[in-house]
């Protein structure tokens, strides 16, 4: 007799920001038959951006994960798609562009531009930052206006974008960015059970910041 399959579970992972080792460690902790949702901002800031992108994309290609678009992915794809002074300035200030170079970034342009902006589950939805309360369309940069206006219409909304010391809840909004690239943790949240798994983030950016202050 075939045993009954358990309900599918998901783990929504907060902003990775180039912390490849942290993402590797966290993925190893999570059950192999659960679905992963990378909540955007996989790129920029951290020390190993290309390795992080390649790991995230391999998880997508294998069918294990969904990679949502964050404001950092959207900004890079937009800058690569234009040729004007503002775009060149944005690229010059982009960590991903500096680490990968122009040719490699352009190989990623279409992938980053086509990432989905949300992932719906049963009684919950994941997106990078929230929804515009006037249109209720995904907004990759919004904070307080969404937090104040959200009326529960999508169930729980699981978001990254705003780093904090822990996974925390504001009504029906669950914020899961715990500052991995700033020396905090990288967190995964299971919307079906409320469980949280965490690993240490990268201390590289934190150490560079402290060194700059002491110089």
In this structure, the chain runs to a length of: 215
The rounded distance, in Å, linking the Cα atoms of 186 and 42 is: 11
Strand, coil or helix: 175: strand
Model-wide pTM > 0.95: no
Phi/psi zone of residue 145: left (φ > 0), alpha (ψ -120 to 50 degrees), beta? alpha
Tens of pLDDT, residues 74-125:
999 999 999 899 999 999 999 999 999 999 999 999 999 999 999 999 999 9
| pLDDT band (50, 70, 90) for residue 203 | confident
Q: For residue 49, give Cα distances in angstroms to 22, 41, 132, 148.
A: 12, 11, 29, 33
Question: Domains in the chain, start-ordered, CATH in brackets?
Answer: 10-214 (3.60.21.10)
pLDDT tens across 37-63, in order? 999 999 999 999 999 999 999 999 999
Which two structure tokens, joined as six digits, stand for 78? 């937009």
Contact 185, 178 (CB under 8 A): yes
């Amino acid at each position: 007799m075939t045993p009954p399959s358990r309900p599918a579970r998901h783990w929504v992972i907060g902003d990775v920001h180039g912390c490849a080792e942290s993402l590797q460690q966290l993925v190893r902790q999570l059950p192999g038959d659960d679905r992963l949702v990378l909540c955007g901002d996989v790129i920029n800031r951290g020390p190993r951006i290309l390795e992080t992108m390649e790991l995230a994309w391999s998880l997508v290609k294998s069918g294990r994960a969904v990679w949502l678009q964050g404001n950092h992915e959207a900004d890079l794809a937009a800058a690569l798609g234009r040729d004007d002074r503002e775009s060149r300035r944005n690229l010059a200030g982009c960590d991903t562009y500096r680490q990968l170079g122009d040719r490699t970034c352009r190989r990623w342009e279409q992938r980053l531009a086509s990432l989905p902006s949300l992932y719906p589950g049963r009684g919950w939805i994941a997106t990078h930052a929230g929804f515009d309360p006037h249109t209720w369309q995904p907004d990759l940069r919004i904070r307080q206006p969404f937090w104040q206006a959200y009326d529960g219409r999508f169930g729980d909304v699981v978001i990254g974008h705003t780093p904090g010391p822990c996974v925390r809840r504001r009504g029906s909004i669950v914020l899961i960015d715990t500052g991995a690239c700033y020396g905090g943790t990288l967190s995964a949240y299971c919307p079906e059970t409320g469980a949280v798994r965490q690993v240490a983030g990268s201390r590289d950016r934190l150490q560079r910041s402290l060194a700059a202050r002491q110089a």
